[in-house]
Amino acid sequence: MFLKSLTSIALAGLLVSSPCVMAEGGGKAMIAPGLYSFEVMHDGKKMEIKRNQNPDNRISELYATTFRGMPQAMHPFEPYDVETLGEREFVKYMMDAQTDKTIMIVDTRTVGWHQRLTIPGAVSYPYTMMDDPEDRDWALDDFGAKKQEDGSYDFSVAKTLAMFCNGYWCGQTPAMVRAMLELGYPAEKIKYYRGGMQAWTSLGFTVVGEAAEAE
């Protein structure tokens, strides 16, 4: 417990003192204590991630409709121990991914959704890739899993993946995660951002894509 407390204190200090954190004055929408914005690389360019500071800002029309599917369970992959992330935990993975190449932010939605609107720094690996052997092998290779001669996969250097789709009700990430778990991908290296795009946009976080450019 003592070590866990020390780790939490150290992490909080890093969020405040890190050079990629740009703290501003009070009275603004924060991401986490002392954290107002940070930078990620997206398509070869630096982008600042922050919350929209306009009090009149509204959620994207893409996610304004509430008549959606059934909400996913908080831990939908049991008995596999896949961690479910909130925004602050997801943001920490985004920040870490800028210097740690063993971490990837993965958009599991179909390509059309990704092009319309996505989270900066996310790479597109549609869940449908798991249905095609060649696409599946290509994706898993990018994730650090190597296919063996007997058809199995070596996951010894598999990357940690923070994965998301459209929202609490969306089944695209769960479908991809289940397929990967069945293949043997380590559960501890998969992180599920359950809120996805609906939660991200509801908090006014920075987004990129065709819908963002049209606004």
Contact 104, 159 (CB under 8 A): yes
State residue 197's pLDDT score: 98
Contact 157, 164 (CB under 8 A): no
Under CATH, what is the fold of the domain 45-214? Oxidized Rhodanese; domain 1 (3.40.250)
* pLDDT digits (tens), the chain, 215 positions: 444 443 343 444 444 444 444 444 457 899 999 999 999 999 999 999 999 999 999 999 999 999 999 999 999 999 999 999 999 999 999 999 999 999 999 999 999 999 999 999 999 999 999 999 999 999 999 999 999 999 999 999 999 999 999 999 999 999 999 999 999 999 999 999 999 999 999 999 999 999 998 76
List phi, psi (to 5°) of 145.
-95, 130
List phi, psi (to 5°) of 193.
-85, 95
CA–CA separation, 192 and 106 (whole Å): 10
How many angstroms separate the Cα of 109 from the Cα of each of 45, 65, 106, 140, 199? 22, 18, 9, 16, 15
AA letter at 80: Y
Burial class (CB in 10 A: 0-12, 13-18, 19+), 30: middle
Domain parsing of the chain, residue ranges: 45-214
